[in-house]
Amino acid sequence: MQKFSDLVSVLMVFVWLGGHPVSPLRPICDLRVLDHFVREARDSEVIMRGCRGGCSVMNSYFVPLTSVDFAVWEQIDGQAEEVQTGLSLLVKALSAARNTVSSSPLISTLDNNISNIHSLSQILHSLHLQQGRSTALSDDSASISIQTQEVSTLPELLQVQSSFLRGKVRLLFSAAPACQK
Amino acid sequence: MRIDTLKVVAVLCVAFVTIGGQSFESKVAQLLHDEADDLKCFVEGKKDLTCFWEEELERRNSHDRYTFIYSYEKEKSRTCDVSSLSLLASNRTVFLCKLPQILFFTVLHVQVLYDGRMLYNRSLNVENVLFLDPPRNLTVVSSGKEGQLNVSWLPPLLKYMDDSMIYEVRYAVEGSHMGKVEEIKASTKLILRGLQPGTRYKVWVRIKPDGVAYDGYWSAWTEPVFRATQPSDMDPLIVLLVLFIALILFILSVTVILSHHKFLLKKVWPDIPTPEHKFPGLLTVYEGDFKEWMRQNNGNMWGRSAHIYAEELPSPLEVLSEISLASNATSQIEERRTLEEEEEKTESEGTDSGITGSWQEPSQAHWFMEQLRALQENPQSLSQSMLLESPDTYVTLNQNSQHARAEDDSQVDDICDESLPLQTLFSNSGTSSLSASQSDLGSLQQSSGSGRLSSQSSFEYPNHTWPSNRPGYTYMAVADSGVSMDYSPMSSSRIEDLGKRVIYTNEYKNEIFGHKWAISGQC
């Protein structure tokens, strides 16, 4: 009887946990995670340069702008939204490009990049940079308010991904108030 | 007019370069040497991107014929003003252009045209051509520990970039060309270890982007900073060796002392010599009473066992003849007494001959044998006669008494059978032989120490003839007295033979009892 009551109490705890939202994430401020994702994005470029068949087909991809003017970067607002939107655009483009690729190493590294961008989105959410906006990667193109550029080849897409991660995403991470000591 | 304007611009450019410091010229000079591209570009911080190329001989003094065009990705092209720079160190001239606007993390396309024709063309990312200034404020201090120096410097004043740098620290002994290099990531401090104590070192530092988010070239080395390490008080190896050797010497000395401690103790603290070992029991049992010790020790001249200290010890017997014999016996007694008295007084050696002389006459021996036989048959008569004849105490050898004695005192049997010769003597005849009263024997023993035994020793034998078939009687009797020998003429020789278990120096050859003597001699 005692054992049964203990089991019931444990089950009730699990039910309670399932019915309640998770607690806010702790800030992830270690830039080494992002550096790791950047290296893997660069590895994709290297693999792409060495690809000799079944690499990709011409396609149109809408990707975020990656250029950073340090003179104006700190003055602009909405950096977090811009980064989050850009990440979502990258995920879309990478997913579309992956479907056109038949080279298995390239497929593998593209899958890795997509997973990394998802993780980056979660990390950005942990930094509490969003203010009253949805943090989930949205498929709704109407919500996109940032400037985009169009690329037509996978090497260009991978270069944009690499530049975006090294640039705006990293700047946002290093400047996040939650990570300031 | 136009020429004057150009000259002013050139002078201004040179002045600007000069004001910019040696660092810019050194960077240009360094890139001239390191960078493979003909069109070299670098950015010093966040704002100044410089692209330059070297003047070629066929195109000297024609910087105005160059056109520099640049454009960022998806943007329109722009031009940049070209200037020249003379490198004094290498006597070379370069043409350069400093871009006014810089965008990171995007592609930059650069072109150099000479008289409208494409000369150089290059596409690059600005964040990949960082050429920073050397670290500032290099500081080297002694850490307080032997062979260590603390090195520290300041990171570049570049926001968002300072956490993406790596550093190299070079250090060498002053005056030496051999140096070591240490690479450090994400830190502006370093502890140099394993340095020679009491040595002056010089230290350099340089910086470079780590290559993840930013990339570029190694900066120039800082100006060297000199610092001496702490001198060592004592070489720990020498201290350890000295301690180890001292420990080994200590262990060796202790081992030697322990192995020879008895010898050393005797030398340093010798024992007071005592004569105890020569006189057993003198100091312990008799408490220094030498006379008593001598008295007691007389009975044990031939042995040390406890059995020897039995109450009754056989003593030499003096055979006296009867009256018919008595006259002979008397004479014998008197002769014997005289001899004994002399011997007692003098205690001289060589009296063996006295005794032996008294016994060595074969006629006397035969006569005694007969007397003994007679005595055996009638012991009482002899005792009476002898008592009348002589006031001395006589020993009456009696077989019965011997048996009784044996019953009373088993120790007698335990005695090395010194009485056996007597028993054997009398048992041969099958009858009671000479009787010896226990009391007399006891008195004999009692007096053995006093040395008067001989005077008291005597046979009491009956007034009858002695059995004739008694071989070697007299010899045996005397020989049997070997147990108590202090008083005997051979006393001195006995003393010498103490402990050696030798009865006599003179051997009595008696075919019957020779072996017995050997036995008794072992007592």
Mutation site, B49, B102, B105, interface A, largest A CB count within 10 A? B105
Distance CA B65, CA B58 (A): 13
Q: What is the mean pLDDT of chain A?
A: 82
Q: Work out whether the CA dihedral B381, B385, B388, B390 comes out positive or negative.
A: negative
Chain A positions touching B73 (Cβ under 8 A) are: 67, 149
Q: Residue B207 is inside which H or E element, if any?
A: strand B200-209
Tokens 């900073």, located at residue: B225
**Separation in Å, CA of A16 to nearest CA in chain B:** 43
**Separation in Å, CA of A168 to nearest CA in chain B:** 8
Using an 8 Å CB-CB cutoff, list residues of chain B that contact chain A.
46-47, 72-74, 101-107, 125, 127, 159-160, 163, 212-214
Distance CA B155, CA B367 (A): 143
For residues A178 and A42, is the Cβ–Cβ distance under 8 A?
A: no
Mutation site, B123, B128, B160, interface A, largest A CB count within 10 A? B160
What pLDDT, on a 0 to 100 scale, did the predictor assign at position B203? Answer: 95
Distance CA A72, CA A66 (A): 14
**Separation in Å, CA of A104 to nearest CA in chain B:** 26
The tens digit of pLDDT for each residue in A60-85 reads: 999 999 999 988 888 888 888 899 99
What pLDDT, on a 0 to 100 scale, did the predictor assign at position B235? Answer: 72
**Separation in Å, CA of B218 to nearest CA in chain A:** 21
| Confidence band of B471 (pLDDT split at 50, 70, 90) | very low
Q: Which residues, in sequence order, are bridge partners of residue B347? A: none
Tokens 């056996």, located at residue: B420
CB contact under 8 A, A71 and B163: no
Crossing angle between the packed helical segments A154-164 and A79-99, to the nearest 10 degrees: 150
CB contact under 8 A, B104 and A38: no
CB contact under 8 A, A67 and B46: no
What pLDDT, on a 0 to 100 scale, did the predictor assign at position B300? Answer: 59
Distance CA B444, CA B298 (A): 13
The tens digit of pLDDT for each residue in B66-113 reads: 999 999 988 899 999 999 888 888 888 899 999 988 999 999 999 999
Distance CA B491, CA B475 (A): 18
The residue-averaged pLDDT of B116-127 equals: 92
Query: Which range among B222-226, B318-322, B332-336, B409-413 has the greatest average pLDDT?
Result: B222-226
Chain A positions touching B102 (Cβ under 8 A) are: 69-70
Tokens 């007071």, located at residue: B272
The tens digit of pLDDT for each residue in B243-293 reads: 999 999 999 999 999 998 888 888 888 888 877 788 888 878 888 888 888
The residue-averaged pLDDT of B310-322 equals: 67
Distance CA B108, CA B94 (A): 21
What pLDDT, on a 0 to 100 scale, did the predictor assign at position B313? Answer: 60
Q: CB-based burial of residue B356 (10 Å sphere; 0-12 exposed, 13-18 middle, 19+ buried)?
A: middle
Residue-wise DSSP of B107-127: EEEEEEEETTEEEEEEEEEGG
Using an 8 Å CB-CB cutoff, list residues of chain A that contact chain B.
31, 35, 38-39, 65-71, 149, 159, 163-164, 166-168, 170-171, 174-175
Distance CA B3, CA B470 (A): 175
**Separation in Å, CA of A25 to nearest CA in chain B:** 25
CB contact under 8 A, A68 and B103: yes
- Which has more confidence, B486 or B35? B35
- Which has more confidence, B92 or B303? B92
CB contact under 8 A, A67 and B101: no
Partner-chain residue, chosen from B74, B102, B105, that has the shortest CB–CB distance to A167: B105
The tens digit of pLDDT for each residue in B147-181 reads: 899 999 999 888 888 889 999 999 999 988 889 99
What pLDDT, on a 0 to 100 scale, did the predictor assign at position A126? Answer: 83
What pLDDT, on a 0 to 100 scale, did the predictor assign at position B12? Answer: 55
Flag whether pLDDT at B510 surpasses 70. Answer: no
Distance CA B327, CA B325 (A): 5
Distance CA B56, CA B64 (A): 14
| CA atoms lying within 13 Å on the CB side of residue A63 | 30
The tens digit of pLDDT for each residue in B178-210 reads: 899 999 998 999 999 999 988 999 999 999 999
- Which has more confidence, B305 or B210? B210
CB contact under 8 A, A66 and B212: no
**ipTM of the complex, rounded to two decimals:** 0.80
**Separation in Å, CA of A42 to nearest CA in chain B:** 9
Q: In whole angstroms, what separates CA A130 from the centre of its chain?
A: 14
| Confidence band of B351 (pLDDT split at 50, 70, 90) | very low
Chain A positions touching B211 (Cβ under 8 A) are: none
What pLDDT, on a 0 to 100 scale, did the predictor assign at position A39? Answer: 94
Partner-chain residue, chosen from A31, A67, A175, that has the shortest CB–CB distance to B106: A67
Flag whether pLDDT at B475 surpasses 50. Answer: no
SS3 of residue B184 by DSSP:
strand
How many separate helices (H) and strands (E) can be counted in chain B?
17, 17
Q: Which residues, in sequence order, are bridge partners of residue B97? A: B51
What pLDDT, on a 0 to 100 scale, did the predictor assign at position B513? Answer: 45
CB contact under 8 A, A67 and B47: no
Tokens 């002695």, located at residue: B466
**Cα torsion at B377, B383, B388, B394 (round to 10°)?**
140
For residues B144 and B183, is the Cβ–Cβ distance under 8 A?
A: no
Give the DSSP letter of residue B459.
B
CB contact under 8 A, A35 and B102: no
What pLDDT, on a 0 to 100 scale, did the predictor assign at position B373? Answer: 73
| B103 to chain A: closest CA residue | A69
The residue-averaged pLDDT of A99-119 equals: 93
The residue-averaged pLDDT of A139-152 equals: 67
Q: Residue A64 is inside which H or E element, if any?
A: strand A61-64
Question: For residue B225, what are its two tokens?
Answer: 């900073």
Q: Work out whether the CA dihedral B246, B251, B255, B257 comes out positive or negative.
A: positive
Flag whether pLDDT at B485 surpasses 70. Answer: no
Distance CA A63, CA A75 (A): 23
| Confidence band of B137 (pLDDT split at 50, 70, 90) | very high
For residues B71 and B77, is the Cβ–Cβ distance under 8 A?
A: yes
CB contact under 8 A, B46 and A70: yes
| A162 to chain B: closest CA residue | B105
What pLDDT, on a 0 to 100 scale, did the predictor assign at position B507? Answer: 47
Partner-chain residue, chosen from A38, A67, A69, that has the shortest CB–CB distance to B213: A38
For residues B422 and B459, is the Cβ–Cβ distance under 8 A?
A: no
Partner-chain residue, chosen from B103, B107, B160, that has the shortest CB–CB distance to A171: B160
CB contact under 8 A, A67 and B104: yes
CB contact under 8 A, B104 and A70: yes
Q: Which residues, in sequence order, are bridge partners of residue B117? A: B114
Flag whether pLDDT at A21 surpasses 60. Answer: no
Chain A positions touching B106 (Cβ under 8 A) are: 65-68, 163
